[in-house]
Amino acid sequence: MIDIYVRNSGTAATQIIEIYIGISPTNLEKQTTTTPLPLLIPANSVVKITISYEWVSGTVYYFKIVTSTTQPLEFVYVAP
């Protein structure tokens, strides 16, 4: 399981529409989460998203979170 915390530091609410994970920026796959999507994030708040995903320790993973109001949130994480 992967838990992702997303913060909305803006002044208006937004929604998380889709989440993608992959081992390179060009092979991202849309994920099914245990947290129902779309997920509303009120202004100036944090939400937790849980994803059922098997990852391998030491592997670099690429993430893309698509919201309803901004550019996608993209980041890289090395599995513990």
Instruction: Delineate the domains of the chain, giving CATH numbers in brackets.
Output: 2-78 (2.60.40)
25-51: burial string, b at 16+ Cβ within 10 Å, e else: eeebeebebeeeeebebeeeeeeebeb
pLDDT attached to residue 23: 96
Question: What is the value of pTM for the model shown?
Answer: 0.90
Token couple for 50: 């849980």
pLDDT computed for residue 77 by the predictor: 96
Exposure string of 55-78, with b = 16+ CB inside 10 Å and e = fewer, is beeeeebbbbbbbeeeeeeeeeee
Radius of gyration of the chain measured on its C-alpha atoms: 13
Give pLDDT, residue 34: 80
Mean pLDDT (10-residue bins), the chain, 80 residues: 93 94 95 88 95 93 92 94
